């Protein structure tokens, strides 16, 4: 039997990058997967990939910054899958700007997407999981939730908030069979990173390869990380063997934050 056979998962930000890798790995492990993101074409493609690998999947559109959209997506996932045992909150945005040039609109967008989106998901998922006596929540945070970096004040603030929310939620459900954890990657080679590289190239005149090398060199291992590496940890946290891991913020960064 596959490790997550019979489990039902919802993955936000599932259309690309880490979220896509998580959705595919959950499907391979036997879970039925609701792949959710804002772009319909992307989630349909990932859901088809899950099903092409022998899994079961449904594609959902969601705007995690909108509580009504979150409620609707959870309701649809429950209707199609029969319930939600696993929630992976992976949707996020990462604009860059000095604090003094961060607009009100950008600040609100980042906090609503990265932090409120996690809160809305927890609020939907935890009562159902606790009532059932089993559940796994994994929030995708960042090393920026553990330390500061210049020019990403809004992003770092949101990810620090995600870690606080993760710890509080974990303690609230600690006796119910539900765990809530966060994963904190360093720089991961995803479309989000490519957007960041493009901004570095535009502002500094570095080549794309030089910009990528600058980011890779921020890790003691002098490399970027892969979505699949992050997904492997998420998958472990979703399994039976991780039942004693709760309220933790686990880094995949080669020792950047120690």
Q: Which residues are designated catalytic?
A: 155
Rounded distance between C-alpha atoms, residue 115 and residue 133, angstroms: 26
Instruction: Give CA–CA dist 177/129, Å, rounded.
Output: 8
Quickly list DSSP for 26-88.
HHHTT-EEEEEES-HHHHHHHHHHHHHTT-EEEEEE--TT-HHHHHHHHHHHHHHHS--SEEE
> Coil, helix or strand for 112?
helix
d(CA 36, CA 235): 17
β partners of residue 1 = none
- Tokens, residue 101: 């040039």
Contacts of 199 by beta carbon, 8 Å cutoff, 6+ apart: 96
Taking the C-alpha atoms of residue 258 and residue 254, their distance in angstroms, rounded to an integer, is: 9
Distance CA 194, CA 122 (A): 29
């Amino acid at each position: 039997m596959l490790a997550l056979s019979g489990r039902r998962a919802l993955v936000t930000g599932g259309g690309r990058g880490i979220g896509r890798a998580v959705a595919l790995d959950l499907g391979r492990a036997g879970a039925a997967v609701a792949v959710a993101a804002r772009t319909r074409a992307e989630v349909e493609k990932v859901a088809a990939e899950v099903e092409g690998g022998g899994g079961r999947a449904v594609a959902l559109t969601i705007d995690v910054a909108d509580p009504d959209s979150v409620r609707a997506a959870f309701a649809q996932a429950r209707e199609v899958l029969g319930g939600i045992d696993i929630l992976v909150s992976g949707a996020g945005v990462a604009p860059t700007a000095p604090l003094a040039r961060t607009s009100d609109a950008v600040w609100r967008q980042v906090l609503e997407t990265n932090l409120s989106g996690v809160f809305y998901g927890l609020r939907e998922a935890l009562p159902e999981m606790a009532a059932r006596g089993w559940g796994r929540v994994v929030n995708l945070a960042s090393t920026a939730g553990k330390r500061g970096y210049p020019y990403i004040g809004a992003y770092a603030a949101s990810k620090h908030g995600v870690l606080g929310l993760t710890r509080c939620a974990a303690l609230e459900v600690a006796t119910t069979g539900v765990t809530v954890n966060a994963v904190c990657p360093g720089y991961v080679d995803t479309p989000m990173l490519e957007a960041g590289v493009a901004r570095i190239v535009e502002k500094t005149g570095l080549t794309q390869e030089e910009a990528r090398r600058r980011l890779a060199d921020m890790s003691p291992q002098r490399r970027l990380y892969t979505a699949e590496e992050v997904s492997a940890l998420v998958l472990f946290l979703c399994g039976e063997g991780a039942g004693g891991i709760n309220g933790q913020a686990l880094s995949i960064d080669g020792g950047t934050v120690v």
